[in-house]
Structure 1
Amino acid sequence: MAFKNHSSRIVPSSSSSVSTSLPFRFTTIITLALIFCSSYYIFFSQFDYSPVTSSLENPPFVGDLRDLTFPWNKLSLGPISEKLKLAVFCKSWPVGSIPGGMERHAYTLYTSLASRGHEVHVFTVSSDKSNHENIQEYYNKGDLHIYFAPNKNGVLNQTQAFEIFQRINGVDDHPFDYVHTESVSLPHWRIKMVPKGDVAVTWHGIWYEIIHSKLFQELYYSNEHPSSDLEQMMPRLVNEIRFFSSYKHHICISNSAREVLVNIYQLPKRNVHVIVNGVDQNKFVYSPESGARFRAKHGVPDGNGTVIVMGVSGRLVRDKGHPLLYEAFALIAKTHPQVYLLVAGSGPWGRRYAELGENVRVLGSLEPEELSGFYNALDVFVNPTLRPQGLDLTIIEAMHCGKPVVAPNYPSIVGTVVVDERFGYTFSPNVRSLVETLDSVVRDGSSVLEIKGKACKGYALSMFTATQMASAYERFFMCMKNDRYCKYPLPIDN
């Protein structure tokens, strides 16, 4: 099977159509490419890739936490006895159906903060999009309070959510200590209605990164379907840059996003922070036994180290890169018949993967308790996404289970997660590069993959745990409330 020949695809037959579309497409691609290239130096010239907190080259941090340029998760932050009352606006909360990455992040963070004794009020909707005739509190579990405010389509009714917030603020003469929003769940034009206007926002993706996503997808799909979205992208980016300053403090989940907000969006350095996502380190653990059971359950043969099992999970849709992996694995399976692919998730590309034959196992959606067994059944985890935005939790989950990863060489990934070759492999988002990378994986073999997996586990435990994420957010909110907590180290710090 040959590599995809983009030039052979059908294009519009009308010469006028081609002539009018080509200048726009050429100009757009060149413009986006220039943006990408100009930011490349910004990204990689300033990153601190070291996974350790201190060394001879990287001395221990001492000073004001607002001056940090690396993730707060790297610091050994001690427990805080003082309690907070927090208001949180969140896109959705996991209920019923299997949660996505955003829901898992929200659940992990806010349940962790509540377990520390902080009073957390979350204004959101259920992830299953169910509608409620009346706004109601979903549950009150100790210090965690969840309020649903859906509109008729089941998405967050921002007006009603804010009305609930205003009713609760100041109850028992105790107003919220701080207000936090996940992305634009609390829109920028409402900030002036928040007392003191002191709001922090966590960005899980920004338009600058979305432009990169569209660029990579445009380059991959070539003339298959010219994108009309590109016409509106630059004005939306400019609009976003203008309203970001409405939020006082910005939390990024990758080093690269921080560099963009400081250097491109021109936000004050002291107002931009990095707290990377974490997952429950007690749920995602290294367990060869559970991996062996998972392989046996799904009919993956044990080749005594000769069989290489790759895996992919998540929504099986186009922008997650599944056409890319489909083509690459079809080629790899022909030259390496001992390689298997486990596909976990739901979506239209599940049926396509099944066409690849007996070396592919399409598992469908897995329950949360099955995910650890899935990761442990792998020799390597593959994330082929064409969306260089945010920070995919699946990569972090796989690393916690002691598995190396194959991921695109996007700034958010190589600057924060797969920071060097000890942790896996990176590729350019095209079929040829992915095939070459997967071939390297097979040639390295299970023994090398196991060594890389152990390094991944150690790095994940040093950076990407729910405990570290919650500690970082806790200290951030305390710092916003009282400057005393902005100093590091304090006597409470390890």
Structure 2
Amino acid sequence: MGPTCQSLFLSFSVHLLPPAPPGCGAATRRGSCTEAEAENDPFDVIHSESVAMFHCWARDVPNLVVSWHGISLEALHSRIYQDLTRGEDERMSPASNHSLAQSVYRVLSEVHFFRSYVHHVAISDTTGEMLRDVYQIPNRRVHVILNGVDEAQFEPDAALGRAFREDLRLPKGANLVLGVSGRLVKGADLVLVAVGQISLSLP
């Protein structure tokens, strides 16, 4: 750990909040901790995950950054495509039906309150288009910064790649390798189903 990181780490204040049942004011307790810290030394910037910071606390923060890991319109698109994979004789589950209905309301809610943000940074052209076309955010307030890897800093390592393939016991002659890394909720099972269907259609 370098001196800069070390000094930052030593300046951290950690507030441990015991778990609370749903609806018992966890957000209020987080807001109280934020206010207590700000009284000693005002924050330059506060970074919140989605709407973890309620408006009653966020409205007095001059520099607030909010990260959204997938807007509701993207989630609605995913649910629509998932339903299109349903067999002709397969009924839509009550859970899927409820999820689709709720997704529409979430999109409408986001369209209304996303206007409160001064700037929007999208990590793909598609998300930028959604913010402009559906969420009605003016073009001057939407900035697209593609989420990628700096190849000048992170170059492929052939030896490490070979070792990784050996650990996975991949055949040496395999020229097409598909893999999924992430939580199962992301739909890794759909990739397996798709690969199975493609393999059946190919000679």
**What TM-score do the two structures reach when normalised by structure 1?**
0.34
- State the 1:203 CA deviation: 2.2
2:19 aligned with 1:151: yes
**What does residue 38 of structure 2 align with?**
169
**What does residue 213 of structure 1 align with?**
78
CA distance in 1, matches of 2:152, 2:20: 38
The one-letter amino acid of 2:49's match is: E
Counterpart mapping for 1:261-300 below 5 A: 261-277=131-147, 285-300=155-170
CA distance in 2, matches of 1:255, 1:181: 23
**What does residue 69 of structure 2 align with?**
204
Counterpart mapping for 1:319-468 below 5 A: 320-329=187-196, 331-332=198-199
**Contact 1:199/1:249 (<8 A) preserved:** no
Which string of whole-angstrom CA distances, capped at 9 and with x for unpartnered residues, describes residues 285-306 of structure 1?
5122122223333433323xxx
**What does residue 123 of structure 2 align with?**
253
- State the 1:204 CA deviation: 2.0
**Contact 2:180/2:188 (<8 A) preserved:** no
Which string of whole-angstrom CA distances, capped at 9 and with x for unpartnered residues, describes residues 138-177 of structure 1?
xxx24555544453369x9322221111111142xx4112
Which string of whole-angstrom CA distances, capped at 9 and with x for unpartnered residues, describes residues 466-486 of structure 1?
xxxxxxxxxxxxxxxxxxxxx
Higher relative contact order (CA 8 A, sep 6+): 1
Which string of whole-angstrom CA distances, capped at 9 and with x for unpartnered residues, describes residues 80-99 of structure 1?
xxxxxxxxxxxxxxxxxxxx
Match of 1:240 among 94, 110, 123: 110
The change in CA–CA distance for 1:256 and 1:331 in structure 2 (over 3 A counts) is: closer
The change in CA–CA distance for 1:298 and 1:263 in structure 2 (over 3 A counts) is: closer
**Contact 1:217/1:319 (<8 A) preserved:** no
> What is the percentage of aligned positions where both structures have the same residue?
28
- State the 1:262 CA deviation: 2.5
CA distance in 2, matches of 1:150, 1:243: 30
- State the 1:265 CA deviation: 1.4
**What does residue 179 of structure 1 align with?**
46
The change in CA–CA distance for 1:169 and 1:312 in structure 2 (over 3 A counts) is: same
The change in CA–CA distance for 1:286 and 1:209 in structure 2 (over 3 A counts) is: same
The one-letter amino acid of 1:237's match is: V
**What does residue 58 of structure 2 align with?**
191
The one-letter amino acid of 1:178's match is: V
**Contact 2:131/2:137 (<8 A) preserved:** yes
Aligned to 1:325, the other structure's residue is in SS state helix
CA distance in 1, matches of 2:6, 2:126: 30
Which string of whole-angstrom CA distances, capped at 9 and with x for unpartnered residues, describes residues 378-418 of structure 1?
xxxxxxxxxxxxxxxxxxxxxxxxxxxxxxxxxxxxxxxxx
CA distance in 1, matches of 2:121, 2:16: 25
CA distance in 2, matches of 1:272, 1:185: 22
Which string of whole-angstrom CA distances, capped at 9 and with x for unpartnered residues, describes residues 271-330 of structure 1?
333344456989965122122223333433323xxx225131234637524234334247
CA distance in 2, matches of 1:168, 1:150: 19
Q: List gaps (5 residues or longer) in structure 2.
A: none
> Alignment RMSD, CA only?
3.8
The one-letter amino acid of 1:191's match is: A
Aligned to 1:296, the other structure's residue is in SS state helix
Aligned to 2:19, the other structure's residue is in SS state coil
Aligned to 2:116, the other structure's residue is in SS state coil
Q: List gaps (5 residues or longer) in structure 1.
A: 1-110, 120-140, 335-431, 440-494
CA distance in 2, matches of 1:273, 1:245: 15
Aligned residues: 194
**Contact 1:158/1:186 (<8 A) preserved:** yes
2:179 aligned with 1:312: yes
CA distance in 2, matches of 1:247, 1:327: 39
**Contact 1:254/1:274 (<8 A) preserved:** yes
CA distance in 1, matches of 2:135, 2:154: 36
CA distance in 1, matches of 2:140, 2:6: 27
- State the 1:217 CA deviation: 0.5
**What TM-score do the two structures reach when normalised by structure 2?**
0.72
